[in-house]
């Protein structure tokens, strides 16, 4: 169990959830598909949310995370 989004690093079991995807299996499969097809995820700063799990910048801040840009 990884316990966090492979893209943004937000904890999957810690609130706030705010409609984001917390299913670790689905996130891992989606991330693997992205890596295998050499697709580049856009930055959270650019979009305002994580393209993989839909976590918002506010959610990351509430968990005390900083972006790894």
Instruction: Report domain extents, the chain.
Output: 1-69
Are the beta carbons of 63 and 18 closer than 8 angstroms? no
pTM: 0.79
Quick one: pLDDT at residue 69? 46
Are the beta carbons of 28 and 4 closer than 8 angstroms? no
Query: Per-residue pLDDT for 68 more than 60?
Result: no
How far apart, in whole angstroms, are the C-alpha atoms of residue 23 and residue 38? Answer: 23
How far apart, in whole angstroms, are the C-alpha atoms of residue 19 and residue 50? Answer: 12
- Which tens digit of pLDDT belongs to each residue from 8-67? 889 999 888 888 999 999 999 999 999 999 999 998 888 999 999 999 999 988 888 765
């Amino acid at each position: 169990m990884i316990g966090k989004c492979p893209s943004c690093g937000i904890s999957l079991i810690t609130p706030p959830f705010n409609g984001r995807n917390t299913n670790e299996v689905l996130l891992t499969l989606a991330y693997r598909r992205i890596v295998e097809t050499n697709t580049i995820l856009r930055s959270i700063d650019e979009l305002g949310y994580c393209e993989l799990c839909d976590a918002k910048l506010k959610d990351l801040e509430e968990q005390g995370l900083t972006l790894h840009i």
